[in-house]
Structure 1
Amino acid sequence: MGRVTERRRVIRIRDGAVSTRPDTLVAEEPMEIRLGGKPLAITMRTPGDDFALAAGFLVSEGVLASAAELANIVYCAGATGEGGSNSYNVVDVRLADGVPVPDITLERNVYTTSSCGLCGKASLDAVRTTTRWPLDTSPDTPVLIEPATLSALPDRLRAAQRVFERTGGLHAAALFTTDGELLDIREDVGRHNAVDKIVGRALQQGQLPLSSCVLMVSGRASFELVQKAVMAGIPVLAAVSAPSSLAVDLAVETGLTLVGFLRGTSMNVYAGEHRLALSAAASTD
């Protein structure tokens, strides 16, 4: 099976001095996801938690919502040029009896990715009407999280990134309680894969929906990441960088609390502020 990191020779130049040394890089390999034996998607990922990645991807696609709907996930023989030996880069997902299998020979669903090429309104409507766990959009919802708790999450995320410390080349997604307790963290070369691994592990453990959790990501908040949070029933998504305009639109549409530029005690709340304990004197201009 592919390793999480690999070693490569580099030429290092420091203050005019030239030397050679081995460098630790994050591994990146393609993984094909099949559904009932039929090809569904290919993603570039960091090997590891492959079954969780496939399960989480199918949650965001609206195919899976509970462990009971999943029969099994297995590795398949990949095309390696070595007689069909197992490359551990192809996984096949089998659904439980009675769970409908989408017609994957047709055009993919409109809520698949932020680059689907369809209009924003169609994408927003698709996620809102497809999620099995609509988020509570009532302003009377009890406060779930303190801003000070959110402020502590980036440092806790970074401290738990073991592979990033060796490579500097991985995104991370972490699941926290509303009190700031770390529940799970996954790293991957793709930010969307890291989230899928988090959601997939939760599905395998029978924990969906994640209605009392905060999802923290190490990069920006794209439409795709907001979609994945909503499809998993996660009410709060926080990112250290900026959201896209469509990500904010989707958060508003679905009732997700979306926080961006979370750095130190500073943050921007783009949607769902009713879940934060904000001062009554906060400016609204």
Structure 2
Amino acid sequence: MGEREKQWERRSILKRGETDPNAVDDAVAIEEPLEIRIAGETVAVTMRSPGQDDWLTAGFLLSEGIISTLGDVSRIYHCGRPGTETFRNTIDVIPSPGLALDLPDLTPSKRGTLTSSACGVCGRQSIDDLLERCEPFEGVTPIDSRVVTQALSTIQEHQPTFEATGGVHAAAIFTDTGALVACSEDIGRHNAVDKVVGSSLYEEDWPEGALLAVSGRA
């Protein structure tokens, strides 16, 4: 579960600067499409960094309100013929016996069929649509500002793909005292969040008053 595939490869690129362009060997982040199906029906396609697709799928389904626990799912697996291009880029979700997942829930969020791995609320039709599904959160646990600062530093220590390429994001879950629970990388920030949320579902490790930290552009 949550197996991490190679997320970057070395490529020959043209580097342009103040002098004439020259060919150099560089590490480049890999990006491939992932088709997410539920009982064979396509519900989303996203561009992501290969690996941890089960976490990504579980986190996506939870974030969209399609499932509430991992117990709603019987199986998440790559489908197709092993060895083909589509095998590792198509994943199917089998609901638990007797459970019908409510796929129309994707419609109000406007994130179905084709999703965006970009930042912010990209992939949503509007902020109003998003607010229809998100109620105000009560009972917020105060977080010390030093914990927040340290969390951002800790993320950098768990980004091997970013260290190699400088081209991916990361998301991590911490306890309210700053202990790292889980961290995932992806070329898209949305996907990194879904992966780390999914990992917590699989590990059943969701601390009270948890802190979600994500990488930024600066």
Structure 1 residue 54: Cα displacement:
0.5
> 125, 133, 138: which one pairs with 1:117?
125
Q: Deviations over 1:92-139 (max 9, x none)?
A: 0111123332245x9723374544324x334212222xxxxx7324xx
Structure 2 counterpart of 1:136, one-letter code = E
Partner of 2:37: 34
Structure 2 counterpart of 1:68, one-letter code = G
Partner of 1:264: none
Matches within 5 A, 1:183-198: 183-198=181-196
How many matched pairs?
A: 206
Partner of 1:213: 210
Give distance in 2, aligned partners of 1:55 and 1:157: 22
Matches within 5 A, 1:43-82: 43-77=46-80
Equivalent residues of 2:64, 2:106 under 8 A apart: no
Partner of 2:88: 88
Give distance in 2, aligned partners of 1:183 and 1:107: 29
Give distance in 1, aligned partners of 2:167 and 2:37: 28
What TM-score comes out, normalization by structure 1 length? Answer: 0.64
Please state whether the residue corresponding to 1:77 is helix, strand or coil: coil
Identical-residue share of aligned pairs (%)? 33
Partner of 1:177: 175
Moved runs in structure 1, 4+ residues, more than 4 A? none
Partner of 2:97: 97
Q: Which runs of 5+ in 2 are unaligned?
A: 112-120
Structure 2 vs 1, CA of residues 126 and 14 (structure 1 numbering), >3 Å: closer, same or farther?
A: closer
Q: Deviations over 1:151-196 (max 9, x none)?
A: 2221111122111000000011011111111111100000000000
Structure 1 residue 68: Cα displacement:
1.4
Structure 2 vs 1, CA of residues 86 and 124 (structure 1 numbering), >3 Å: closer, same or farther?
A: closer
Structure 2 counterpart of 1:174, one-letter code = A
